[in-house]
Chains A and B, each alone.
Chain A
Amino acid sequence: MKLLTLNFLTCAIKTCKTQPASFPLHPRDAELEIVETDMNLPFLKNILPRLMWDELRTITSELGLPDLPPTPPTRSNLVEGGEKDAVAEEEEQEEVVEEPTQTAKDLHRILLETCIKEGKLVCGACGHEYKVMEGVANFLLPGHLV
């Protein structure tokens, strides 16, 4: 399970959803694996405003991964030589090949290539533990919690 997926998940228990501490879910006893995948630079630039950066930093530090910078990178930080202005980009988007910076490569590795293979995801509000097995997280609740 990719770390970016955690940006969109929360505790499945209904009464938890309104509690801020139910997001993000916290990985515990996680066995990580790297699954390489093609880099999509336009995606990385566009996803920045959707990333819950502080929560992502919490997750990476809980996993013992290298610290992410305190503030998210900008679009320009991701492109070698900086990003061209938006208008030029739209007109020429098919032709211009942009080169990713090391920051972009690191972000790609964290969000899309670093996967939780086995372990648990723990809700910060109620403490419920969701298992991850062979990369698949299990959010099914025992009958009394539904």
Chain B
Amino acid sequence: MLPTPSTSHVCFDRVYEPAEDSYLLLDTISSTSEAAFLQNRFGHVSSTPPLILEVGVGSGVVLAFAAANARTIFGRNDVLTLGTDINSFACRAASQTVSTALREPTSSSSIFLDVANGDLAGSIRPHSVDVFIFNPPYVPAELPDFSRHENFNTLPAGQEKTTFDQDSYLLELSYAGGADGMVVTNRMLEQIPNLLDLKRGVAYVLLCAQNKPEEVKRHITGWGPGWGVETVGTSGRQAGWEKLQIVRIWKEGA
């Protein structure tokens, strides 16, 4: 078992607390089969360092895990990690989580870049991402009212503390996914073909049962020849249904 990064400094009143979905991502990217897949793609020592982008880092637990265990997962120490989140408090918390994890004596000496405050991967250079990771807000629940975002994204003027309404809004952002829980994920999926490296890009996206994962997978296959999509991690099996799953999306033989 690889160590789980510490998030004890994070205030979970306004930043998503690592939960079953987060841990499923950790277990999946470090599983024997995925590590083998990733090492095969990125493990050659003098190829260019892969850029790992996580959108919606939250506490940063997943990105920190990838950064600190780079050698085991990717077969090399020199990977680059970059994150984004729409919640500025999450951006700061996650930066600290990754930096702290990289200072652990057992950690890989990989390169942490930054966490930018933004919408999805909107500010990332096209085709620059080698490994993309997204644990989206996936619960079928009404999206929060974004007109309040600018106000709620920073501390109220002259104040040291956030308000209760602000915290509720920020937490809503972390789970509410609109119709079928897919509104944010669909927007993200649309960006993926233009975001991934044309030769070696691969994406890991978490889906829940209500997201209609089979439909989502069929949709991705329809992107065109060569696109592969496969369920590579599951949790919460009940009566033949997986509660959560991770799909890997990649371009075959590209």
The judgment on whether A and B are partners is yes
- Chain A residues close to B by CB (< 8 Å): 1-2, 4-5, 7-12, 14, 17, 23, 38, 40, 42-43, 45-47, 49-50, 86, 89-90, 93, 112, 130, 134-143, 146
The 10 A-B residue pairs with the shortest CB-CB distance in the complex, in nearest-first order:
A139-B118, A43-B78, A139-B123, A12-B122, A12-B123, A5-B113, A5-B114, A138-B117, A10-B125, A137-B116
Bound-state CA distance A11–B126 (Å) is 11
Would you call A140 and B82 a contact (CB within 8 A)? no
Judged by a CB distance under 8 angstroms, whether B86 is at the interface is yes
* Contact assessment for A40 and B117 in the assembled complex, using a CB-CB cutoff below 8 Å: no
Taking beta carbons and an 8 Å cutoff, which residues of B are in contact with A? 45-49, 51, 77-78, 80, 82, 84, 86, 88, 91-92, 95, 109-111, 113-119, 122-126, 128, 146-147, 149-150, 153
Q: Is the CB of A136 within 8 A of B113?
A: no
CA distance A2 to B80 in the complex (A): 12
Distance of A38 Cα from B111 Cα, bound (Å): 10
CB-CB under 8 A for A9 and B48, given A40-B78, A140-B118: no
Which A residues touch B109, using CB under 8 A? 38, 40
Max chain A Cβ within 10 angstroms of own Cβ: one of B51, B118, B128, B149: B118
Verify A50–B48 contact, CB threshold 8 A.
yes
Cβ contacts under 8 Å, B124 to chain A? 8-10
A-B contact pairs, 27 of them (CB 8 A): A1-B114, A4-B80, A4-B111, A5-B113, A8-B124, A12-B123, A14-B122, A17-B126, A40-B110, A42-B78, A43-B77, A43-B111, A46-B47, A47-B49, A47-B78, A86-B46, A93-B45, A112-B111, A130-B123, A136-B95, A136-B114, A136-B115, A136-B117, A140-B86, A141-B119, A143-B147, A146-B119
Given A9-B124, A23-B125, verify A140-B113 contact (CB < 8 Å): no
